[in-house]
Amino acid sequence: MGVAKAGDTVRIHYTGKLEVGTVFDSSDGGEPLEFEAGSEDVIPGVSNAVIGMVAGDSKTVELSEEEGYGQAYPGYEQRIDRKDLPEKMRVGDRLRAEAEGRTIVFWVKELDDESALLDINHPLAGRTLIFDIEMVSFEAAR
């Protein structure tokens, strides 16, 4: 039985947690996550953590911000009038905007009656993340 290598298609179950133990994402109760090991299909720390695993292996990895969603940049926030947002927006919702031929994703970071604080940083940027990973299966690259 071989081990997963970069370029192999892997299927994992995972639980992502913050350092304080709060779960922010999980495949528990759903289908395994499928991606190419070592690729940019998922965050780098998870993509690289599966390399060397075999089906049935489990591990816990702690990821730095660089291995996760990157550094948080304070200058990437912008306050806008609340009336410029769709009515049912909530904190944590995403918005997409087109600018100079590219799509930019903003996250609603704060809301009050008058304004909204939008942030281009991913909500988990700048955070240390902990992932419990179980290798379900993999297929060698062809």
List of residues 6+ apart from 105 with CB closer than 8 A: 94, 95, 96, 120
Answer whether 19's CB lies under 8 Å from 65's CB.
no
What's the pTM?
A: 0.82
Domains of the chain: 9-70+126-139 (3.10.50.40), 74-119 (2.40.10)
* Phi, psi for residue 70 in degrees, rounded to 5: 85, 180
Cα-based distances in Å from 49 to 23, 67, 86: 19, 10, 39
Distance CA 86, CA 108 (A): 11
Residue identified by tokens 């994992």 is 12
pLDDT tens, position by position, for the chain (142 residues)? Answer: 689 999 999 999 999 999 999 999 999 999 999 999 999 999 999 999 999 999 999 999 999 999 999 999 988 999 999 999 988 999 989 999 888 889 989 999 999 999 999 999 998 999 999 999 999 999 998 7
Residue 14, beta-bridge partner list = 133
Distance CA 60, CA 116 (A): 37
